A and B are shown apart, each in its own frame.
Chain A
Amino acid sequence: MTPFSARYYDGKTSQRREVLMWAEPPGRLRVSGDGVDFSCQIAEVRPSLRVGNTRRHLQFADGSQCETEDNDAVDRIFAGLPSQAPGRLIHRWESRLGYALLALVLTAAALWAAITYGIPALAKEVASVLPPSIETALGRDALAGLDRMLLAPSELPPARQEKMRALFSNLVSSIEGAGGYRLELRSSKRLGANAFALPSGEVVVTDQLVELAQNDDELVAVLAHEIGHLRERHILRRLLQDSATVLLIAAVTGDLTSIVSLASALPAILLQAKYSRDFEREADEFALDTMKRHGVPAESFGAILLRMDERRGAAADVPDYLSTHPAARERAERSRAAR
């Protein structure tokens, strides 16, 4: 073969020597020039992988090395070695724009599948294996913390409180596995009309929400929705999904420069909002289903949602993809359709 130029480094010093290299039969590689002249078995030489058009380094058994930009010559010499095959395949994939665009499409498809199906399904599976004691541990001090910072004792008349507890226990007794759930009534000016579930099994409802409701059916709807969150183990699943999202994004952007690390917080936020909306829809479905069994009209769910939305005012204008809850109007429409 035609000799090609390379630099020879002996591995003992940083001295550089200009040499020529060529393959010669039987299966040997010759290095010659500038005080160097030797040949060795091609099988004993370890060539570096081809990455783009970067230079190749050929490592010899004695620790010395040759560096050359003649990638094609190196490929030809080592063409027969099976150890080179995977590297060559990947290089071929990387060397054409068309193939690279195929990788882009594949990446987009894999990401979409992972986000839409993979992560939620995986989280659900893992959550079903984990014991309920994990959730108890997660939410152990949550209510105490909220009581200190956001919530005050309920100021509802005792009769009203008793009525709420009756509604709650009536609901819970009809739902399998909901025996441990408790209702906590609180007042909160900062939160306003609101209700939420804590992983340890508490459903917190504010006085402001009780006052906003026009009838008991609306309160049953809200309670059923929150019990839905608990029953479907949304907080644990959300924790798992958020962790998986962070890992996925790290896997994708780990190969990027750091500018992107700043921007990569954005997809994480968007995804977490999307998952949150998915859980809300799931809890809505659970609520509508439960209400049906109790003979509570489905539209009372929509009615209280819309009223809460009005009360909140400006926040209602947040576009859907940024919001942690689906738009109230959409949810209300579905509650009407559920009839």
Chain B
Amino acid sequence: MGLDCEPFKARRAAAGPSIFLEYSAVPEFLEPAGANVYAGGFVSTRVVDDRNPGGLVADQPDVALSAAGDIVPLRFTGQAGEYFRIWIVNICLSIVTLGIYSAWAKVRRKRYFYGNTLLGDSAFEYLADPKAILKGRIVVVAGFAVYSLAGKINPLAGLAMAFVFLGVLPWLIVRASRFNAVNSAHRNVRFDFRAGYREMGQFLILPVVLVPLTLGLLYPYYAYRKRRFFLERAFYGATPFTFTASAGAYYLAYLKAALMFVVFLVGSIVTLGIGALPLYIWFAAYRDGAVARLTWKNTRLGGLRFDCRWTTGGLFKLHFLNSLGVIFSAGLLAPWAAVRAARYQLQRISLQPGAELGAFLTAAQEQVGAIGDEAGDLLGFDFGL
């Protein structure tokens, strides 16, 4: 979804056939909707009609959010100092336990960010079981070891493994998205993601085959289709998200971003490279802001609409200071940077409830394993949700 935050992405050579999958360590909770949540906006099929709130669900109006049309911003209450302590203990225990604790560390980190994200004074909740994550990680580490060894010993075996990887990719992405969604909740109602492996495979033809074939000219169309694909298969409880943007609007946004990229190139040459980093962050801030605003403003969940007020200047300041802080503190300010990013990005996303936040129904759900999710984590790619 909207917040790819590309200034913070670096391609990872180790990721093998990472044709379009870019590394991103942006916590998923920063991807739309606060809690990783595929919460773009809500549109409902089964949710109650707002003129008849008593019909299907609760008959009590939601006190905090009853007035339709009131703007409800997300709030983020995390503190850099507090998160620093959690972060360093997480790292320490992960190393001392040879990585086993990292599954528990991940759950604590996500619980911290989700739990500090408030919508209408209710916190988001991350519910994944660390043991499921650990199992997923073990499978992925083993798979990755076999893959990289095969490629080094015999290029042909490496190629065969790459094809196997492409074959399981749709399954991996569906499972990862599902695991994340199902383990995210707000007001005791879980999110969900429902997509078939076959339709995911068909969708992947676009980034894997068509975008490279057209030398990237299809990229804005892919960016648009990606958001639509993931949003329209995401649910809050039983209520699906909908997406109203047009491909043309994405082309316009990326065209303007491309002009910014030219500014970055020319500016870098003129300043003999000194201006390259700030200019690049400016370009990325412009692109991320434009795409995020476009995406959020066209996302619906039931009667709920979303708004996003990220500005190029604001994102530039955020990322520029974060980069300087992290680099010059040798990484020790990373928790501070993460909290700053969450605060800026979340607090500038708001909801315009046309429906009541209290009127969403839950859906029956089954358990989902974490293998897909951990593949996403470990191989270092971002499914671009």
Task: Name A's B-contacting residues (CB within 8 A).
Answer: 7, 9-18, 34-35, 48-49, 51-55, 57, 63-65, 67, 90, 93-97, 99-101, 103-104, 106-107, 110-111, 114, 134, 137-138, 239, 243, 246-247, 250-265
Q: How far is the CA of A48 from the CA of B8 in the complex (A)?
A: 32
Given contacts A11-B188, A52-B86, A260-B334, contact A106 B25 (CB under 8 A): no
CA distance A106 to B95 in the complex (A): 9
Q: Does residue B142 face the partner (Cβ distance < 8 Å to A)? A: no
| B309 interface contact, C-beta 8 A | no
| A94-B85 in contact (CB<8A) | yes
- Shortest C-beta distance, B198 to chain A (Å), equals 32
Please state if B331 and A256 are interface contacts (CB–CB under 8 Å).
yes
- Pairwise interchain contact A251-B94, C-beta atoms closer than 8 A: yes
Q: Which of A90, A96, A264 has the most CB of B within 10 A?
A: A90
Are B188 and A257 in contact, with the CB atoms below 8 A? no
Kindly report which residue of chain B lies nearest to residue A263, judged by CB atoms: B327
CA distance A255 to B62 in the complex (A): 37
B362 contacts which of A12, A100, A265 (Cβ < 8 Å)?
Answer: A12
Q: Does B341 contact A (CB under 8 A)?
A: yes
The reply to whether A15 and B60 contact each other, CB–CB distance below 8 Å, is: yes
Cα-based distance from A94 to B64 in the complex (angstroms): 33
Q: Which residue of B26, B154, B189 contacts A258 across the interface (Cβ within 8 Å)?
A: B26
Q: Is the CB of B359 within 8 A of A258?
A: no
Cβ 8 A contact of B62, one of A15, A257, A265: A15
Q: Is A251 touching B99 in the complex (CB atoms < 8 A)?
A: yes
Cα distance A107–B189 in the bound complex, in angstroms: 38
Contact with A along B322-335 (1 / 0, CB 8 A): 11001100010010
For residue A7, which residue of chain B has the nearest CB?
B122
Write the B341-355 contact mask toward A (1 if CB under 8 angstroms, else 0): 100000000000000
Q: Is the CB of B23 within 8 A of A261?
A: yes
For A252, the closest partner residue in chain B by CB is: B91
Interface residues in B100-130 by Cβ distance below 8 A to A read 102, 105-106, 108-109, 111-112, 114-116, 120, 122-123, 125
B74 at the interface (CB under 8 A from A): no
Are B188 and A10 in touch, CB under 8 angstroms? yes
A34 touches B60 (CB 8 A): yes
Contact between B91 and A255, CB atoms less than 8 A apart = yes
Question: With the chains together, A264 CA to B153 CA distance in Å?
Answer: 27
Name the residue of chain A whose CB is nearest to the CB of B130.
A49
Taking CB atoms, residues of chain A closer than 8 Å to B111 are 48-49, 51, 54
Is B269 at the interface (CB under 8 A from chain A)? no
Whether B337 is near chain A, meaning CB under 8 Å from some CB there, is: yes
Report yes or no: B82 in contact with A53, Cβ–Cβ below 8 A.
yes
Asked if B377 lies at the interface with its beta carbon under 8 angstroms from chain A, I say yes
Q: Which one, A12, A48, A104, A253, contacts B125 given CB within 8 A? A: A48
Q: With A51-B111, A134-B153 as given contacts, are A13 and B359 in contact (CB-CB < 8 Å)?
A: yes
Give A124 to B33 CA distance when docked, in angstroms: 48
* Residue B296, interface by CB 8 Å: no
Contact count band on B:
35 or more
- Docked Cα-Cα span, A134 to B152, in Å, equals 10
A101 to B63, CA, bound (A): 44
What are the residues of chain B within 8 A of A257 when measuring CB–CB? 8, 25-27, 322, 326, 334, 337-338, 341
* Complex: chain A residue closest to B123, CB-CB: A55
Flag whether B197 is at the interface (Cβ < 8 A). Answer: no
A15 near B10: Cβ-Cβ < 8 Å: no
A-B contacts besides A52-B82, A254-B378, 19 pairs, CB < 8 Å? A7-B122, A12-B57, A13-B237, A48-B125, A49-B108, A51-B112, A54-B112, A90-B93, A95-B85, A99-B89, A100-B84, A107-B95, A247-B141, A250-B378, A255-B90, A259-B25, A260-B25, A261-B10, A261-B25
Residues of chain A with a CB closer than 8 A to B106's CB = 254-255
18 A-B Cβ contacts within 8 A? A11-B189, A17-B60, A34-B60, A67-B123, A97-B85, A100-B85, A103-B91, A104-B92, A114-B95, A137-B154, A251-B95, A254-B378, A256-B338, A259-B322, A259-B323, A260-B331, A261-B23, A263-B331
Q: For residue A10, which residue of chain B has the nearest CB?
A: B188
- Docked-complex contact B331 and A65, CB < 8 angstroms: no
Q: Please determine whether A252 and B95 come into contact, CB atoms closer than 8 angstroms.
A: yes
The binding surface of chain B is classed by DSSP as helix
Chain B contacts of A255 at CB under 8 A?
Answer: 87, 90-91, 94, 102, 105-106, 109
Q: Within residues 130 to 154 of chain B, which ones have a CB less than 8 A from any CB in chain A?
A: 141, 148, 152-154
Q: Does B283 have its Cβ within 8 Å of any Cβ on chain A? A: no
**Residue pair B95, A110 in contact (C-beta under 8 Å):** yes
Q: Does B255 contact A (CB under 8 A)?
A: no
Question: B120: which A residues are within 8 A, CB to CB?
Answer: 16
Which residue on B lies nearest to A266, using beta carbons? B327
- Chain B residues with CB under 8 Å of A110's CB are 92, 95-96
B residues less than 8 Å from A34 (CB atoms): 60
B58 in contact (CB, < 8 A): yes
- Min CB distance A281 to B, Å, is 25
What is the bound-complex CA distance between A42 and B39, given in angstroms? 34
Question: A13 CB to closest chain B CB, in angstroms?
Answer: 5
- Closest A-B pairs by Cβ, 7 of them: A54-B115, A258-B8, A258-B25, A9-B188, A15-B58, A103-B92, A100-B85
A107–B330 Cα distance when bound, in Å, is 14
A257 CA / B337 CA spacing, docked (Å): 8
Contacts of A13 in B (CB 8 A): 57-58, 189, 237, 358-362
Return B180 CB to nearest CB of chain A, in Å.
16
**A15 vs B153: C-alpha distance when bound (angstroms):** 58
B352 to chain A, nearest CB (A): 17
* B23 touches which of A11, A239, A258 (Cβ 8 Å): A258
Closest-by-CB residue of A relative to B382 is A258
Question: Do residues B64 and A16 form an inter-chain contact, with CB atoms below 8 A?
Answer: yes
Q: How far is the CB of A238 from chain B (nearest CB, A)?
A: 12
Q: How far is the CA of A17 from the CA of B58 in the complex (A)?
A: 11
Task: Give Cα A326 to B293, complex, Å.
Answer: 52
Contact of A15 among B14, B57, B112, B341 (CB under 8 A): B57
Q: In the complex, what residues of A have CB within 8 A of residue B108's CB?
A: 49, 51, 90
